[in-house]
Amino acid sequence: MAITYEKNTATFASVIYEDEVVSFRDFLQGIAPDEAKLNFTECEDVHLAVLQLIMAYQKNYAVSCEFGDSKKLFQQVLEGFEISENHCN
């Protein structure tokens, strides 16, 4: 598995494919309403479904992300997501 979990922290390594979506969703449901701490320092890429789960969680709860030295596309997506502009209620 490319995502490991410890308390309210998920650590992403390598490339995160769609087969990680269900376990990640279960992780987020299990820690809600606590802050999700997401470590992407060793991550190369993330499937869009995982990013959608992060943004949905961020709509209601706190999320903090740690990124590596080189800026990846998924980092730009997460940093550019503005919860006040999300009208999916």
Instruction: Indicate whether this model's pTM tops 0.75.
Output: yes
Higher pLDDT: 87 or 76? It is: 76
| Phi then psi dihedrals of residue 53, to 5 deg | -65, -40
Domains and CATH numbers, the chain: 3-85 (3.30.750)
Reported as a single tens digit per residue, the pLDDT across 23-79 is 999 999 999 999 999 999 999 999 999 999 999 999 999 999 999 999 999 999 999
User: How much is the pLDDT for 85?
Assistant: 60
Determine the residue type at 31: I
53's tokens: 């789960």
